[in-house]
Amino acid sequence: MAHNQNFMYRKFLLMATAAIALNTAAKANDTDSICSFDLEEVVVNATRNPYQSTLSSETVGKNQLQEQNFGDNLPFLLSTTPSLVVTSDDGLGVGYTYFRIRGTDHTRINMTVNGVPLNDSESQTVFWVNMTDFASSLQNVQVQRGVGTSTNGSSAFGASVNMMTDVVSATPYATINFNGGMYNTFREMVKIGTGLMPSGFAFDARFSKVNSDGYLQRAFSNLYSYSFSGAYFGKKSMFKMLIFGGKEKTYMAWDGIDSATLSNNPRFNPAGMYFAGNDILFYDNQTDNYAQQNAQLHFAHFFDDSWNIATVLHYTHGNGYYEQYKRDKKFSSYGLPVFINSDNEEIKRSDLVNRKNLDNDFYGIVSSVNYKKNSLSVTLGGAVNNYSGDHFGNVIWVKDYPQAEKDFEYYRNRGKKFDGNVYLKANYTIFETLSLWADLQYRHVDYSISGINDEDLEEIPVSEKFNFFNPKTGISYQGKHHSAYFSFAVANREPSRKNYTEAGIHDIPMPERLYDYEFGYKYSVSKFHLGANLYYMKYKNQLVLTGKYSDTGATLTKNVKNSYRTGIEFIAGVEFTKWLRLDCNATLSQNKIRDYSDWVDDWNTGDQTEIFYGKTDISFSPNITAGGILGFSLKGITANFQTLFVGSQYLDNTMNKRAMLKDYVINNLILGYTLPFHKGVKNIIFKLQANNIFNVRYASNGGSYSYFDGADANGKFLPQNQKYTPWYFAQAGVNIHCGVIVEF
């Protein structure tokens, strides 16, 4: 890997210098693609998978991202990659959006931008709604399934997504993009760049705005995002500053609906519902509001033919709140005193509106040093990151309350997290086609929470230190038509914030460990390729859903001692002609907890009892997923027909069919036509996207709560007495969007 970085960086420096000296458009254009590729090597090489033969990783390029980008959040643009399943709260993929890879949820997937951690330090997830249209600023995205290579930030506990922002263009450009479609969904984007100037400087900027009413009622999204970069290229050094961020306001669509509503009125959104006499009303400001700003300062230096270094300083600030109408809530849950009304009655509860706030800062440094000589390449890298976040809540209105309680603060706590890691990677080429590699990482985490919890207004004295050793090793063969590899990796992961603050009575969280085995083979010729990847992921103390929910609707988790995910991933592609191509993939898997038990509520007594279920499927882990793209491209006309299949999946770990999502097949069609120009305007591109063209009614996410209602004469709980109350998140039927792109 270090050899590739070293070699490509030399090419980049040479071509960048040539671009400054040469003024002809042809030579500048020739330089553009080289610069793009080589800058990728400099910026994100340390966290990328260097072996193209490894089937457990896939890189999605800029063209593919932009082809299907109509304002959806990034996970929807990656939905055709193997083993990946997406869902959204609003049903369109514009608002809150989530994804799973091999059944692994987004809190376990490591995500980086140019090698810089993107996951929130406490929740360990990425909120894509804060980064609308971020795909318009990306050069490519690499999705690594399994543990992957050593990276920075939260643990890659089943997958990682490494994003690289746009490379510097050698020539000036400008792009205007507008598209609109059903449910009042609109996206406007403008993007400009100076190109690489004779002085060695280059500047780029983008602004995007996305609005949608959402498929669900009132699930609107008002979003904007921006990015700005400035870079300087010298003979042996590169500096690049990148600033990006966004702001969102979305109406909540977090509550889900029952099966009867899913059948009869799938667009119904119960969030914010309250009553005025016999009338059903909805609170206007049941919204989530958040803004996030990110800054990165990159430096790369080439010492000689064997040594180079890349370093990034980064800072992220985020702040915002969400506001909710709460019906008939106890005053004691909010620290409010009771009052006596005019009828001399003691009033202990009422309707109210609360606002939960977050204000956080995250900063650090990420660095790597690369060495290459002969058949040996070595990378020494690491990161030091620090996080501080304030959580606090206010009661801003209480129905019929006799005194003003606006902005009454009922809880406040602070989370602090220090995360440092160092890793050493080495690759040795035994023969031209055979390589051995090793990757050793040490990671230290210091996490604390102090203050009052919002759930019970009690102190939450969390103070934990973790020391993790994450070794990885493998062998890779790359021949003319055949390639194969084997790898073994260990990953460790600390519990997230809600694992502590919203744990069940019997569920004090412990760190998790993953042993990941991967073996793959690929056969490829000029117009055809076929491959398969076998994986076995063995977990110790994996945190899984319990099927229970907190007062705020958050899912509760618990550790299970032994569990695993195993499967086989197939990929295939064939080029029928120069203008017609088919690519497809499929995953067959088993995802099991060996000995699952859970504490279930007794509806009659209010107590809990432990129920043993034995070997069960892990929730939200379909045994079959598949996808395919039939692509056509001829004389400026493009057409892509996409098919996605997701098998049935359980909503909890009890394997009860009364709490599961049905399988579904979704088909999308994307059409485009590029009209070329020669002066002034470079291209005008017309696009049309029809999603779910066969209008399939389906739900891609949900939840379930179970309880026992009665026992037999001996006090034994019978399976037929276990009741389930599942809920679902409906996704949009057929929806059509069209747009135009003008390139200068």
Average pLDDT (146-151) is 79
Query: Which of 50-64, 102-116, 607-621 has the least mean pLDDT?
Result: 50-64
What span, in angstroms and rounded, lies between the C-alpha atoms of 392 and 119?
21
What is residue 24's predicted lDDT score, i.e. its pLDDT? 32
Q: Name which of 515, 519, 572, 563 is nearest 542 in CA terms.
A: 563
**pLDDT: is 715 or 266 the higher one?**
266
Average pLDDT (262-268) is 96
What are the angstrom distances between the C-alpha of 372 and each of 10, 230, 235?
Answer: 13, 30, 20
Q: What is the largest CA-CA distance in the chain?
A: 91
Q: Name which of 37, 41, 78, 72 is nearest 160 in CA terms.
A: 78
pLDDT band of 404, cuts 50, 70, 90: low
Average pLDDT (476-494) is 93
What is residue 371's predicted lDDT score, i.e. its pLDDT? 92
Element (H, E) at 259: helix 259-264
- CB distance 504 to 598 below 8 Å: no
Q: How far apart are the first and last CA of the chain?
A: 36
What span, in angstroms and rounded, lies between the C-alpha atoms of 458 and 122?
19
| Burial (CB count within 10 angstroms: exposed 0-12, middle 13-18, buried 19+), residue 488 | middle
Whether residue 16 has pLDDT greater than 50:
no
- CB distance 202 to 196 below 8 Å: yes
Whether residue 41 has pLDDT greater than 80:
no
Query: Which of 140-154, 231-245, 462-476, 488-502 has the least mean pLDDT?
Result: 140-154
What is residue 49's predicted lDDT score, i.e. its pLDDT? 60
pLDDT band of 688, cuts 50, 70, 90: very high
Whether residue 268 has pLDDT greater than 90:
yes
Query: What are the structural domains of the chain?
Result: 2-743 (2.40.170.20)
- CB distance 212 to 249 below 8 Å: no
What is residue 43's predicted lDDT score, i.e. its pLDDT? 54
What is residue 176's predicted lDDT score, i.e. its pLDDT? 96
**pLDDT: is 608 or 239 the higher one?**
239
Q: Name which of 587, 516, 564 is nearest 83 in CA terms.
A: 587
**pLDDT: is 15 or 254 the higher one?**
254
Whether residue 341 has pLDDT greater than 90:
no
What span, in angstroms and rounded, lies between the C-alpha atoms of 104 and 158?
6
Whether residue 25 has pLDDT greater than 50:
no
Helix (H, G, I), strand (E, B) or coil at 124: coil
For the chain, how many residues are written?
Answer: 744
Tokens of 161: 């997504």
Tokens of 700: 């891609």
Which pLDDT tens digit goes with each residue over 716-735? 666 677 888 999 999 999 99
What are the angstrom distances between the C-alpha of 622 and each of 422, 470, 531?
Answer: 35, 28, 21
Element (H, E) at 150: none
What is residue 550's predicted lDDT score, i.e. its pLDDT? 56
Helices 25-44 and 2-21 meet at what angle, rounded to 10?
A: 150
What span, in angstroms and rounded, lies between the C-alpha atoms of 107 and 75?
14
Average pLDDT (655-677) is 94
What is residue 528's predicted lDDT score, i.e. its pLDDT? 95
- CB distance 701 to 740 below 8 Å: no
Provide the whole-model pTM. 0.89
Whether residue 11 has pLDDT greater than 50:
no
What span, in angstroms and rounded, lies between the C-alpha atoms of 485 and 3?
19
Tokens of 530: 């076929």
Strand residue runs (E) in 578-607:
580-602
Tokens of 258: 């029952």
Torsion over CA of 322, 327, 332 and 334, rounded to 10 degrees?
Answer: 10
Portion of the chain with pLDDT greater than 90, in percent? 70
DSSP 135: G
Query: Within 477-544, where are the H helices?
Result: 497-501
What is residue 52's predicted lDDT score, i.e. its pLDDT? 47
Which pLDDT tens digit goes with each residue over 568-604? 999 999 999 999 999 999 999 999 999 998 878 777 7
What is residue 558's predicted lDDT score, i.e. its pLDDT? 86
The answer for residues whose C-beta is within 8 angstroms of residue 729's C-beta and 6 or more apart is: 87, 88, 89, 91, 253, 256, 257, 699, 700, 701, 702
